[in-house]
Amino acid sequence: MQEVYSRDEAKSLKVGLYVALAILCIIGYFVFRDSKVQHVEDGEYYSLNARFGRTDGLLVGDNVRLAGMTIGRVVKAKLDEHFKAILTLEIKEDIKIPDDSSASIVSSGLMGGKYIEIEPGGSEDYIPSGGEFSYTQDAMVVEELLDRIVGIGKANRSKKSPGNAEQAE
């Protein structure tokens, strides 16, 4: 019987299959872990709405946090007549949000997932079920942030360049 692959080709094929299997296992772990975390907490929830100009990278099912603790999740997203995103958030019933609180879309790390962080206000009145946040902050797009940083760096470099040339003379 004739060999289909040389010894080196067979070795390369095995290594490639092991690497592909390892990558699939890692992806499976993160998908399973994230879905498990979202479904662990049962209980009663109430809905709040938050209106944003942009929600880049935030998805239905992402967490809502207060003081770093997960207190709910995003359950619905739609556009209003002015093309703003309206997100419906489910918040644990035992957590009341002051009516002067703000909701921001933030990222967990440079390339991490997005979530909504609630900054509580000082009011003694609370947002009622079905109510809406008065203050929101849109998502920051990483590409725009990097463009700003590069632009600032270029501006600083151009300011320093003429001065350096004059000092050399």
pLDDT tens-place string over residues 65-82:
999 899 999 999 999 999
- Beta-bridged to residue 126, according to DSSP, are 98
Q: What is the pLDDT of residue 39?
A: 44
Q: How do the domains of the chain map onto residue ranges?
A: 1-40, 43-146
Cα 16 to Cα 6, 8, 21, 23, 91: the distances in Å are: 15, 12, 9, 11, 45
pTM, entire model: 0.61
Those residues whose C-beta lies under 8 Å from the C-beta of residue 94, and which sit 6 or more positions away, are none
* pLDDT number for residue 168: 47
Q: Can you tell me whether residue 24 is helix, strand or coil?
A: helix
What is the predicted pLDDT for the residue at 41?
54
Which residues of the chain register pLDDT less than 50? 36-40, 165, 168-169
